[in-house]
Structures are given as C-alpha cells and as structure tokens.
Chain A
C-alpha cells in the first residue's frame, strides 16, 4: 500500500490552512539553523564533508579493486609455486625423481629437483616454500620428517623464526613459536618457555602448546603460569601429553593440591584420563571441598577408578549430598561399580522425586538385574520415566 494518495488528498482539501501555516513556519525557520551560523559557512562545512566522504568512498572503491587484483595475481602465482615446491620437496625427501608420493600429493611426475636463487631469496616464493615445507612436515613421520627439518635449518628459516620470537607484532611471535616447536629447534626452547606468561593471549596459547610438547617436564609450567588456564589451553596440553608424554607422565598429586582452582580442575581431569591411581585418595578428599565445581569434577573422575573404597565413599557422599544434581552425578559415577548387592539401594531411589535420578536408577537396575520388577516399585505417575529408562540402554537416550 502506498501512502502518497493519502497525502495528496490531505493537501488538496486543506490547502488554505496549510498555506497559512507554512508561511508562519517559514518566518520561524529564518530564526533557525541556517541563520544560527552564517549560511555560507555552514554550506562550506557541508561541502568539505561531502567532498571528503566521496573521496573516501572512491578510495575504498579503488583500494578494494587493487587489493583484489593483487590477491588474484598472488593466488595464481602461489598455485604455481605450490605445485613446484610440493614436487621438489617430495622428491627431495624420497630421494628419487619419480616417486609414489607424487600420486598421493596429486602432482605430475616430472622431475624438478632444483630451485632457483629467487625461490630462496624472494619473499613470496620463500614464504610459499616454507608453508609447503611445514605442511608436509606436519603430515609426515620418521626419516622424511627429519629430512624436512634439515632443509628448514639449511635455508635459514630457523634463524628468521628465532628473531621473530622478539618481534613487536604478536602474530609474528605466534607464527615463530608454532614453526620452531614443530621443527623442534632446541635453541628456541628457553625463549618459548618464557612466553607462557606473555601479555598477549594468543601468544600464551601458542607458547603453552609448544612447551607442553617440547618440555621434558611438561607439567612444570603449571606452577609458573601467571594467568588462568583456559579450557582452550588445557586442550593443547592434554593433546601434547597424549601424543608425546603418555608413557612417562609424572604423578599429578602435586597439582591436585595447589591453591588455584583452574589447575586443580585440570589436574583432576588428567588424573582420570591417564588413570593415575595414586591420586584416588586426594580425589576422595576433594568430595568435601566447598567449591561445587571441584566436588562435581571429583565425582566424575572417581567414576573412572572403580573400587570398593571409591564405591563406599561415593555412596556415603550420595547420602550426604543435598542437591539432586549432585546425587545424580554420584549415581552416574557409580555405574561401573554397582552389582546385584545394590539392588535394594537402587529400588529405594525409585521413590525419589527427581526425574533424572529415578530414570538413571531404573536404568542401572535393569542392567544389573534383568528380572527386577520395576513396575511394582514405581508409582503410576512415574511410569513414563520408567519406560524412558527401559528404552535408554537400547537407544542411548
């Protein structure tokens, strides 16, 4: 619906009063903005702003087109160089001109085992060569990885990266940490290890990840950290521990008893993941902690250490817990420890009011005693919960 006809009608029927009003308004507007300052001055200002804005728009227009043109040329050049360097590197590490790796990398099988001076000296080819080198190194193992590392050292990339560790631009520091850690450059260890407390968060992330990978005592940094340890950083440490240190991981007891809650929570998870049975006593003591997060994490982790002692303590904790959520957490942790002796205890739980608690108890009862008559023990209004529990183990609800 267009509004225009309505206004035309309005104007045609009320021309006289509108005209009168408009004349009066016109007198008034003489007192307003265009006369508050000299009109010419105002128009001059507006002209200046308009010209400035149009100039900016033109500048953005040209800058965008030039940027795209340069990027497209660069992309085309990078594509050619990628092909060339991948071929070169694959030949170099395999030691033969036509090798099966070409097929894997989707390359043509012509030999190109030579590089020009420009490939090493000019910025773009040098950068592309490094990117390919690092990418290939990331996906290979064994002797080939070692050969690529030698190439990396030989062409002076390590020296540049070591310099970049002190660069002003944090993104250069981040990139340098990443590649030095990947290439395991020992000269960089000390500098990288100190960057775990850098003022820039992404630098800290990368340094923590690198240190977890390179340090022979990867957990030692936990007592040096000045900033809180985020789950993001915890992931990097965990991954490094799994890949590089799972065989010789020291006891986590020390870290379970520090004051910082973030470190304690992290150490608790690690204790469970790496099955450190010497931590069980401390974990049991954590059930009495004031912090809800620590208590919940302790319950969850203790579920991974099935034993009569843990079971007894968890059941005691269940009785003492005031929140249904905490009780449910305990019940879930007890899953692998329950047996037919617990039938009565689980039957008693069926009379609870909490939906999750009843469903979990019924599910466990069904698992440990297929013949248990659950329908008799549950009130009719909870029949739906019971059916859910019975289907839960079949369908992973």
Chain B
C-alpha cells in the first residue's frame, strides 16, 4: 500500500511536474501573444482619438473617485488638489478619512475651507460609524466631499464612499497614486462604446515611478529605478498588466482589477454587497462576486481592461515590505479562491469557471508549492546519489529559457507599444534584471508565497501589514 502511494508521488513529481511546468509555460505564451495583439490593436484604435472632445458630452457616465486616506496629513492637500484637477466633467471626489490618528482631517478642513454639513448618510452597505461629512464653502471645490469616519480599514472606507456617492460609476484609487489627467476619459471608452454588454468594471495599467521625476503630481520624466527591487517589480508589472490582464479581459475572465486604480458600476457593487471586510484580497474578491452576480442575473456583461498606463505608483523598496505585500497577496488569493470555490469547473460560469479560476488555482496558487516540493524531492534523491543530474540541468535550462523569453517578450511588447522608457541604458538595466531574476528574486517570491500559505492556514497573520512608501511629494 505504502509503496503504491510512493509510486504515485514519484509519478507526480516526474510525469506530473514535467507536464504541469510545460502546461503553465505554454499558457503564459498563449496569454502573452493574445495580449500583444490586443495591446497593438488598442494602440491603433486610439491613436487618432481626441479624448478631450468627450468633455462636453451629455452621454458621459458620472464617476465618483473614492480615495481612502489614513494618516496622510503630509500629502493630503496635494493629493486632493491633484484629484480635483483631473479632466472629467462629471466627476465627484470623495475623500474618506479612515479614522486617521494624525492631523489629516484638520489639514483638509483648513486647506479646502471645509464645513460639516447635515448629510443623511444612507448605509446601503453596512459600515463603521461616519462621524461627519464635509463640503467646501469655496465653490471652486464644489466637487469635493470629505468624509470623516471611525477606523475600519480600506474596504470599509471604500464602502462608505460607495454609500455617499450618487454617481453611476465609482473609481477606487490609492490616494498617493499619480493619475493621468485624461485617465477617466480613456477609462470610460469601453463603457461608452459597448452597446451589447453592461460594463461592470474597468481596470487600467498601473506602472511604477521609483526614481522618476515627478512635479506637482505629474510625471515629468520616467526613469528605470536604480535599485534592483523596484526594477524587478517594473518587470513584474510589465508581465502582469501588459501581458496578463489584457488577455483575460479579452476572454471576459479578468478576476482582478487593481485596488490602486479601477472603476466599478455602483449599482452592481451595491447589489453585490460592497467590499468584504474579512479578506485582504478585497479587490479581487469584489470582482469575482460581481462576475458571480452577473452570471446569476443572466445579463450580458464584461469586466473590461484598458491596456494604457493611466496610473503611476511607487513600488516597495526593500525586501521586508515587499515580502509583506506578497504574503498578503497570497493570502488574498487563497481567500478569494475559497470564497468562490463553486466557480471551479462550473459550466454556469463559462470561461471564468473553466479557464480563469483553474488558472489562478493551478498557476498562481499551486505553482510555488510544486516548485518547492519538487526541489525537495530532487534534493532527497540527490542526497543519496540517485538524481539524474543530466536531466536535471536540462530541465533547469528549459525553465530558465522559458522565463527569460517571456520576460524579454514583455519588455519588447512595452517598447513596441508604449515605449515609455526612452533611454537605452534603462532598457539594458531591465534586460539585466530579467537575466538574473530566476536566481536572485524568484526564490524569494516562492518563499513569500509559501509563508503566505503557512500564515493563512495557521491563522498566524490576518492583517495587511505595514506598507511604507517614500512618497512623491518628498521627491517632487
């Protein structure tokens, strides 16, 4: 009996892992090629558009930007000004002060001449207590609504914003991001063009600005980060945002819209129950719940994606903070997959159940486990002299070549589409990063992922962990 079980294990690690790895890498290539074609098409389609012509349109959907703020007293004034200056005619900016312990509220009151108003807060989605809602006495800031509430976390703060908003769509953004001036005009393109499906959410590319020149909330000169860790993340963002999500959107199987930047159909979000508080992957969980709801309603819909860099943010600069972020992402992924396990190979969910969910399960969640336990198995064999070293090195080369080719393709795609990095030296740096990723960075991501699994299943760490950024203002 025991030998039969061991036999299966051996089969799995040799046959299974071989085909698993090749299957995953093949799927990466399929996704990459589909994305490349889609991004090229998007660029061709929009190169002659004058988005500013939309500003006077009576058909533009209204949007509320919801910006949760926690202890942002240093940057809150500039961040609000930057949001108020965005080019969109039907825009409301809702800043939600999530029980900050510093002077965030008073700073905003002073800077924007805010006064408390009598607002009948309608708790469509249950939230923590709202202490007050403020509007500016200055008509120039009439688009601004400032909400002060008890601390309840990011999801709770966004839910308050959703309750306060009366727009058709709301945008969820991180308050310290730099948003392109015409970002929302571009983001509503799929909503205004698609007459066959209801667009329930739209995401856009988020890219990194570490070491770039930023002035008054605007990106002046994009440079490749000097440090290895942020540079590595630039490469990851190329792969994820440019090559990954575009293809998933094409199949209407996009499960994640970045919490840093995306717009959502408010009515559908309210019907779905708003953001959940009991997960650290609340952005992905909401998108999955919206998918499920629309499938229940049997209504034609789409979670769209704009392959256009519309939002810029800073990447964590050291392994400690990055590790916490990846740990949280892993726990968030597990939570979302468990919450929505009914999707798994469920024909009711179409491409979502047959492709997206299994992909996230097998390629995103399972991959680090297979990699880690595969290596353990191999080292056990090697320890006693039974390893086929010849075969092992061939496999190492195969995996390395696959990873390198995908990364170089991502850089190539970036260059052939947006070409945002204009210095040859920047491109050489990112190619160099791609070449060493497998040995220096990748093992850490596997470790963080396994740690995330461990923390989730042992219940040791359920929170967000601290995230600190250098901040644009300090550099600008």
Interface residues on A, range: 35 or more
B368-408 CB contact bits vs A (8 Å, 1 = yes)?
A: 00000000100011011010101100110110011011011
Known: A24-B6, A171-B47. A232 touches B193 (CB 8 A): yes
Q: Which A238-293 residues have C-beta < 8 A from chain B?
A: 238-239, 242, 262, 269, 273
Known: A21-B6, A39-B391, A53-B404. A33 touches B14 (CB 8 A): yes
Q: Is the CB of A67 within 8 A of B401?
A: no
B32-58 CB contact bits vs A (8 Å, 1 = yes)?
A: 000000000000110110000110111
Q: Which residues of A contact B14 (CB under 8 A)?
A: 29, 32-34
CA distance A388 to B130 in the complex (A): 15
CA distance A309 to B345 in the complex (A): 58
Q: Is the CB of A61 within 8 A of B118?
A: no
Number of residues from B at the complex interface, CB < 8 A = 68
Q: Is the CB of B118 within 8 A of A388?
A: yes
B100-121 CB contact bits vs A (8 Å, 1 = yes)?
A: 0000000000000000011111
The reply on A50 being an interface residue by CB < 8 A is: yes
Q: How far is the CB of A355 from chain B (nearest CB, A)?
A: 6
The reply on B200 being an interface residue by CB < 8 A is: no
CA distance A270 to B205 in the complex (A): 35
B48, B119, B122, B431: the one contacting A391 at CB < 8 Å is B119
Q: Which residues of B contact A28 (CB under 8 A)?
A: 6-7, 10
Q: Which B179-235 residues have C-beta < 8 A from chain A?
A: 189, 191-196
Q: Which A22-45 residues have C-beta < 8 A from chain B?
A: 22-26, 28-29, 32-34, 39, 43
The reply on A114 being an interface residue by CB < 8 A is: no
Known: A29-B14, A61-B408. A46 touches B59 (CB 8 A): no
Q: Which residues of A contact B388 (CB under 8 A)?
A: 29, 34
The reply on B65 being an interface residue by CB < 8 A is: no
Task: List the one stretch of B150-158, B277-285, B412-420 in contact with chain A.
Answer: B412-420
The reply on A230 being an interface residue by CB < 8 A is: yes
A235, A273, A384: the one contacting B118 at CB < 8 Å is A384
Give me the interface of A with B, judged by CB distance under 8 Å.
Answer: 1-3, 7, 11, 18-19, 21-26, 28-29, 32-34, 39, 43, 46-47, 49-50, 53-54, 56-57, 60-61, 63-65, 67-69, 71-72, 75, 170-171, 174-175, 178, 201-202, 205-206, 228-232, 234-236, 238-239, 242, 262, 269, 273, 355, 359, 384-385, 387-388, 390-391, 394-397
Q: Is the CB of A60 within 8 A of B10?
A: no
Q: Is the CB of B195 within 8 A of A230?
A: yes
Q: Is the CB of B193 within 8 A of A230?
A: yes
Q: Is the CB of B394 within 8 A of A46?
A: yes
Question: 25 A-B Cβ contacts within 8 A?
Answer: A18-B384, A21-B6, A28-B6, A28-B7, A32-B11, A32-B14, A47-B394, A54-B401, A60-B408, A61-B408, A63-B412, A67-B415, A68-B422, A71-B419, A175-B48, A178-B48, A228-B195, A231-B57, A232-B192, A384-B120, A388-B118, A391-B117, A391-B119, A397-B119, A397-B135
The reply on B1 being an interface residue by CB < 8 A is: no
A1, A269, A385: the one contacting B120 at CB < 8 Å is A385
The reply on B3 being an interface residue by CB < 8 A is: yes
